[in-house]
Structure formats: structure tokens, C-alpha cells
Amino acid sequence: MYSDKVLDHFHNPRNVGFFEDAEGMAQVGDPDCGDYLFLFLRIRDSMITKACFLCRGCPAAIACASVTTELVTGLPVNDAWDITDETIVDALDGLPEAKTHCSNLGATALHIALFDYFHRKDKAPVELEQRGDTGENDGS
Ligand code: FES
């Protein structure tokens, strides 16, 4: 059974769309189910000012993508890095056990889009090393 928040984000997904000139972009897919997600970030002065997504996926995947765009908007990029699949599940008031893996799409896409941004800005070695992050995302 989905929470009211999951159903709301599935029926009324926020920030659907794309930026051709995004500062950070990611494309991720789940090979087990075939679902995929594109995430686009608008970043100004190291702050995520807007995020949007395109998704072909289950209701949980769409809800996770939608709430991810809300979670990151207005965050400094280094704070957005701390968002995990658990953050996303909590923001949706939980997911059914069989659907918790769907949150990986949102978290993984976010981290890849941030890497894309850091790579374009040539910031990754300094900013991520200072935080002690390895750059590895195990998707958990
Ligand atoms: Fe594929 Fe949900 S079943 S992401």
C-alpha cells in the first residue's frame, strides 16, 4: 500500500521536464525492471535553483523522482550530496518493502548529476576530498 504522499507525487508529479543546458544531468536505469530516469539540475553559485526530471517507471519511481526534485531545490550542492535513498523514502512517508529499491533511481541520478556538475566545473577532486567522500555510490 502506497502512502498518501507517494500517491500525490505519482498523480501530480512535480517538476516534470528537462533543461537542454542543465549544469548537472544524469540518466540512470534499473536493469531488473527496465525503468529509467533522467534528472536535470540548474545550479547557480553552488546552489541548486531548479531540478526537473523525465521518468519511465513504476508509481514509486515517479514519486521518488518527483520528491527528489523538491528535496534538492534550494540546497547547496554539498548538502544535496547527503541525500540518500533513505532520505527519499522518508520524504514519501515510506514505501512498500518490495518498492524500496525504486528510491535508488532518484538517489543515484542525483549523485551522478552532481558528479556531472563537479566534473564540468572541475571541482570534484577538491570539494569531495574535503568531505571525505570517495565518489563511490553503492546505490543503497
Ligand atoms: Fe522499477 Fe520501481 S519497479 S523502479
Please tell me the least confidently modeled range out of 55-59, 99-103, 110-114: 99-103
Q: What's the one-letter identity of residue 54?
A: L
pLDDT in tens, 4-41: 999 999 999 999 999 999 999 999 998 889 999 999 99
pLDDT in tens, 72-86: 999 999 999 999 999
Longest CA pairwise span in the chain (Å): 44
What's the pTM? 0.87
Is 102 within 8 Å of 64 (Cβ atoms)? yes
Is 30 within 8 Å of 105 (Cβ atoms)? yes
CB distance 62 to ligand 1 below 6 Å:
no
Compute, in angstroms, the gap from residue 58 CA to the centroid of ligand 1: 5
The CA distances from residue 56 to 60, 75, 119, in Å, are 11, 26, 27
d(CA 76, CA 43): 9
